[in-house]
Chains A and B, each alone.
Chain A
Amino acid sequence: EADIYQTPRYLVIGTGKKITLECSQTMGHDKMYWYQQDPGMELHLIHYSYGVNSTEKGDLSSESTVSRIRTEHFPLTLESARPSHTSQYLCASSESRSTDTQYFGPGTRLTVL
């Protein structure tokens, strides 16, 4: 099993609150990713990072922001949560040099009331 962790696993929060979803990996991977997954199954890439101080927006526009100050840590922040942000958020990482294999965390199920 890959060593990638997400907290919290479940979060129910009111509209307007600021939230941070945590993602950490202990594999020393350079690349990290955030996906949003709705009940329709499809994985939508919202942010990715190829290393410290490197962040890029993904294929799906998102009001969230990310930071990569340390290799092992890639938090996602929503400044003001709205019901439209209700979704499953998945973090993943991959070793950049030899393979694009991604290892996923267990996900955070976010509900905004």
Chain B
Amino acid sequence: GENVEQHPSTLSVQEGDSAVIKCTYSDSASNYFPWYKQELGKGPQLIIDIRSNVGEKKDQRIAVTLNKTAKHFSLHITETQPEDSAVYFCAASRETSGSRLTFGEGTQLTVNP
């Protein structure tokens, strides 16, 4: 089955700096890669996703890149703000009828004012 590894487990940045979280996956057939943000006391919320037919996707200050050859994908947050502080999860799946997401271990991002 799929195995997703996520690094780093904790990340502390100064407000305004960029933050990068990286994930690797093992199943070469995986083609769907979402990112979730979990704020304290809440469930994870989808913030951006990418499918294997594209290499990069942007949404305002967040972007995701995908390297299918190396089997890794990354989340980039620019101009970080204190409200970006949260736990971030990457995930991967084949997106077929019987498939489901495999999540990474999570990254605790802290943005210091």
Task: Check A33–B100 contact: CB distance below 8 A.
Answer: yes
What is the 8 Å Cβ interface bit string for chain A, positions 92-113, against chain B (1 contact, 0 not)?
1010110111111111000000
Interface size bracket, A side: 20 to 34
The verdict on A99 contacting B95 (CB below 8 Å), with A41-B87, A90-B43, A90-B44 known, is yes
Asked if B46 is at the interface of the complex by the 8 Å CB criterion, the answer is yes
Q: Which of B43, B89, B95 contacts A100 (CB 8 A)?
A: B95
In the assembled complex, the Cα of A101 lies from the Cα of B49 at a distance in Å of 9
Count A-B contacts at CB 8 Å: 51
In the assembled complex, the Cα of A19 lies from the Cα of B99 at a distance in Å of 30
B contact residues vs A (CB 8 Å cutoff): 9, 32, 34, 36, 41-46, 49, 87, 89, 93, 95, 97-101, 103, 105-106, 108
A contact residues vs B (CB 8 Å cutoff): 31, 33, 41-43, 45, 48, 50, 90, 92, 94, 96-97, 99-107
- 16 examples of A-B residue contacts, CB within 8 angstroms: A33-B100, A42-B103, A43-B44, A48-B100, A92-B43, A94-B100, A94-B101, A100-B32, A100-B34, A101-B34, A101-B46, A104-B43, A104-B45, A105-B43, A106-B43, A107-B42
